Chain A
Amino acid sequence: MERKEGKMARRLKAPLKKEDIKDVRAGDPVLISGLIYTARDAAHKRLVEMLEKNQALPFPLEEAVIYYAGPTPAKPGQPIGSAGPTTSYRMDPYAPRLLDLGLSAMIGKGQRSDQVKEAIRRNGGVYLGAIGGAGALIAGTVKRAWIVAFEDLGPEAIRALEVEDFPATVVIDSQGNDLYEIGRKRYLDSLSL
């Protein structure tokens, strides 16, 4: 475990077991290692279309971690380019369905809908925030990357990323607590103390 701003960053292993996330709480720093999959707008549309046609998905959803991201192209000799998160709400229409099918975690940035929060709670999942605009910093935690599906989508293709100590913060925990509400309130309350 690593000490971080007074709080231990919890190490999580991906694919991510539900029991490993049941007691992480909104605001907790985490470090993720293992295999995660990038998917953003166009990839989500296709994943859901595949589900509708009863086709097998290009990666196992069970215990999966999806990272809302579309990296820049890798320079020769590097596993990946800049690789920060994209805004998550655009995936809100698709997320509950994927959570119901076993998805453990989503990594992104920004607010989620009430439907997504409810689906997180119902399934004991988690929503993690990565630092938006810190693409170069995050790229350093990606050890290997390869395309798993939808190569024609370019930056929106689904990539498998092997990550080591990928830094994130728990934004919505399995109880439905939301850091965007709590964090702001805690800060503002601290001012009136």
Chain B
Amino acid sequence: MRQIDVSQVSRALAEMAVEANCYLGEDVCGAIARCRKEETWPSAKDTLEKLEKNIALAAERQMPLCQDTGMACVFMEVGQEVHFTGGSLEEAIHQGVREGYKNGFLRKSVVADPIRRGNTGDNTPAHIHYEIVPGDKVKIVFAPKGFGSENMSQIRMFPPAAGLQGVKDFILRTVEEAGANPCPPIVVGVGIGGTFDRAALMAKQALLEPLGTHHPDPYYRAVEEELLERINGLGIGPQGFGGRTTALGVRIKTFPTHIAGMPVAVNINCHVSRHKERIL
């Protein structure tokens, strides 16, 4: 048994909240730079240049890239040999988020009740997903999620007969309906299979994968590549003002499913595609 004090988790999260919101990952920066070079439409190129300026300014001033510093999504991979000490792990996670959002001057974007609203004032609670894995390490992934893009996400329970064609059409339609709303260029996370909830979870987890990586199965890798090409043929462009660069990447995750079903979830992320990872 390896003992880990929960205060370590709080501290890590408080730091990651600021890092994730002010410093964009190299994979995303690289993808934006590449798209800017390849973009042929002048106004689209101009917008992508501004996004790069924004990335540089945010890092220089340690200012959030975007004012929507998101709902705090925390993914915990906990080694089964780990024993947490010093209090409640769950409370320690919320505490880390609380500190990070307060000390880092991040926006508090969470309301206490979905219908009656009312800002909680400290961006908690975090949305936490736990997974127990072999080993004695703890992996924490922090992914603040903006709702301009979250709101454009969709899920649908397809009959198996809808097949690959049904899946592709649904993904393209979701992106097209989202249009300018999710701040294109976007990142598209797709979950296919499992149950209703599993599909949505996979779609979100797909957004945590570094851009440029692919589904291990060549069948799905080809679908990812085809969809990216077709999305960038829609003409929506950066900010929806027209152009090639509508998406930076498409990532699919899959899981076995029931004989009667084929759940498909599409989680949209914006160009401010934020996630930081740390191992304790």
Judge if B117 is at the interface, Cβ distance under 8 Å: yes
Residues of chain A within 8 A (CB-CB) of B41 are 187, 190
Tell me whether B139 is interfacial, beta carbon within 8 Å: no
Which of A75, A133, A140, A184 has the most chain B CB within a 10 Å cutoff?
A133
- Binary B-proximity of A154-190 (CB < 8 A = 1, otherwise 0): 1110000000000101000000000110111111101
| Consensus secondary structure, chain B interface | loop
Find out whether the CB atom of B183 lies under 8 angstroms from the CB atom of A132. yes
Q: Which residue of A lies closest to B121 (CB)?
A: A154
| A69, A72, A83, A156: most-surrounded residue (chain B CB, <10 A) | A72
**Secondary structure dominating the interface of A:** mixed
Q: Render B50-65 as a binary contact track against A, CB cut-off 8 A, 1 for contact.
A: 1101100110010111
B236 partner residues in chain A, CB cutoff 8 A: 184
Contacts of B54 in A (CB 8 A): 131, 133-137
B79 within 8 A of A: no
When A109-B148, A110-B179 are in contact, do A183 and B237 touch as well, CB less than 8 Å? yes
Q: What total of chain A residues lie within 8 Å of the partner, measured CB to CB?
A: 48
Which residues of chain B come closer than 8 Å to A73, judged between CB atoms?
105-107
- In chain A, positions 1-21 with a C-beta closer than 8 Å to chain B are 4-6
Binds A, one of B2-10, B92-100, B165-173, B239-247: B239-247
Residues of B within 8 A of A183 (CB): 43, 237, 240-243
Q: Are B105 and A133 in contact (CB under 8 A)?
A: no
Cβ-based interface call for A129 (8 A): yes
Could you say which residues of chain A place their CB within 8 Å of the CB of B50?
Answer: 131, 134, 137, 167
12 additional A-B pairs beyond A129-B180, A135-B54, beta carbons within 8 Å, are A82-B67, A82-B107, A87-B148, A109-B183, A110-B179, A131-B50, A136-B54, A136-B65, A180-B179, A183-B241, A187-B243, A188-B242
Residue ranges of A at the interface with B (Cβ–Cβ < 8 Å): 4-6, 27, 42, 69-75, 81-84, 86-87, 89, 109-111, 129, 131-137, 139-140, 153-156, 167, 169, 179-180, 182-188, 190
Please list 11 pairs of residues, one from A and one from B, whose beta carbons are closer than 8 Å in the complex, sorted by A's number: A71-B67, A134-B51, A135-B63, A136-B57, A136-B58, A180-B179, A180-B180, A182-B242, A183-B243, A187-B237, A187-B242
